[in-house]
Each structure stands twice: as structure tokens, then as C-alpha cells.
Structure 1
Amino acid sequence: MGVGDDCKLKFLELKAKRNHRFILYKIDETTREVVVEKLGGPQDIEALPENQCRYAVFDYDFVTDENCQKSKIFFFTWAPDTSRVRSKMLYASSKDKFKRQLDGIQFELQATDLSELSLDIIKDRAH
């Protein structure tokens, strides 16, 4: 499985420049390569496709109990129950190789339903 140059570039922009907070990645099954599908903000977590697998990166900002501003980078594997079995297998088998390309990920979440990616769950993991 290949990784498009744009994938790493947009991740570095998220990490360093913070000009976007959310990146949605998909595997192009024709070229067998991970590509950037969408850039956005925290509200775009809700835009995950209902019946297709995806990877996503989210830069989560929060304030600690000590009143310090912090940021943590999450990596999501999105595999809804309604997605094709072949697609789930492809995303599962490619995840580790792809994730290694994105240096700086601090937390990982796997989800099959949007309720598993709620801001409450993300907040609990980040603290």
C-alpha cells in the first residue's frame, strides 16, 4: 500500500502551521494508495461516510485542570459495520504502515459508530 506525498504534507501542516485541524484519508483502491480526501475543522468528524472505511487525524485543543492550553493529535480508524468486509480488511492491514508515516500521533481510536468518536471520549483520552 502506497502513501501519497500529500498525506504527509497535509499532516505536517496540521502539526506545524495548524491551518486545518482535521484530515480525512481514504484508500484509493484503483491506485492502492492512501490519499487525502478532505481537510477541515473539528465539526468535520461528523462527516465520516456512513458505510465506507476511512482514516482520520484530528488535532484536539483543550485546557487542562491547571488552566494550560494543550493540543493532542489523534489518529482514527473508521470502519462502520455497514462497510464492505474487503474494505475493512484493507484498512486494518494497511493501518500500521500508514500511521508510521505520520510522526507525532499521540492517541489512536478505532470506531464503528460516531458515538465512539464523541468529543467526550476524545476529551477523556487526552487528559
Structure 2
Amino acid sequence: MANAASGMAVHDECKLKFMDLKAKRTHRFIIYKIEEKQKQVMVEKVGEPAQTYDEFAACLPDNECRYAVFDYDFLTPEGVQKSRIFFIAWSPDTARVRNKMIYASSKDRFKRELDGIQVELQATDASEMGLDVIKSRAN
């Protein structure tokens, strides 16, 4: 079903990969791209469970928007292993205005398709989604 605001549909693979990440932990991250010609959100890249946050961040393009989901593992101050699923709306300042508008207008509808997101981040440059920011938002 296409999003009324932007006309973007969500490819089934987007939800299936997210369910794998959430339930089976078979992925560390998923990067989603809007394919304008097909008018839908697609899976662009999937990260292996052993990949790091830095490897994930390096996959985001400098001049284009993306949606991303990252499964962040951490220890609480009490030493308990936990994880948080982050939804990151990557919208770099250097992206074209049209690109930013399409991603902004589709974000809420797309995010609703991914049931289980715990933390949302909006980032326009790498410093807004650095590992320090992830750590502070995880608790």
C-alpha cells in the first residue's frame, strides 16, 4: 500500500529483514533506500551480526538520504547484556532538497511498518549519530 503523502510503497523484503533482525538477530543493521522510479522503499544493504557500528556508519552515503535500522548491544551499569533497535533517518545536509523531502514525507509511514523500533534518531551529519550518541540514547 502506497503512502498517501509521498506515494511510496514498502517492499515486503523490508519487513522480512527487519523481523529477522529483531527476532533471530541474523543482521546487525539494515539500510533502506527509496527507489523513486519504482515508488517504493527497498533494502539496500544488510550487515552481518559481527559488523561494528563504524562499519554500519561507513555504509551511509555522503550525499543521499537513507533509512537505517541498527541493533545496538550494550551492557547496563549493572553488567546486564541488553540491546536496543535504533531507527535512523539519515538526511545529510549535502543531499538534494527533493531527496530530503521524499524521505521526510515517507518516514512515519515507513517506520510504522517496522514494529519493534525502540529509539529513533534523525541525523544530518555523522556527529549526530556517533557511537557516543547511540550509547547515551540506549539507556
Instruction: Give the TM-score, by structure 2 length.
Output: 0.89
Counterparts of 1:77-92 in structure 2, within 5 Å, are: 77-92=89-104
* Partner SS for 2:79: coil
1:9 and 2:21 are equivalent in the alignment: no
Structure 2 alignment gaps of length 5 or more: 1-7
CA contact (8 A) 1:46 1:114 kept: no
* Partner SS for 2:26: coil
Structure 1 alignment gaps of length 5 or more: none
- Aligned counterpart for 2:132 among listed residues 95, 120, 124: 120
1:20 and 2:7 are equivalent in the alignment: no
* Partner SS for 1:100: helix
- Aligned counterpart for 2:43 among listed residues 28, 33, 36: 36
Question: Aligned-pair distance for 1:46?
Answer: 2.1
Structure 1 residue runs of 4 or more that deviate by more than 2 Å after TM superposition: none
Q: Given residue 123 of structure 2, which amino acid in structure 1 is its aligned partner?
A: A
* Partner SS for 2:92: coil
% identical aligned pairs: 66
Q: Given residue 40 of structure 2, which amino acid in structure 1 is its aligned partner?
A: E
In 1, Cα distance between the equivalents of 2:57 and 2:21? 15
Specify the alignment match of 1:50 in structure 2: 62
Instruction: Give the TM-score, by structure 1 length.
Output: 0.98
CA contact (8 A) 1:74 1:109 kept: yes
- Aligned counterpart for 1:74 among listed residues 86, 105, 110: 86
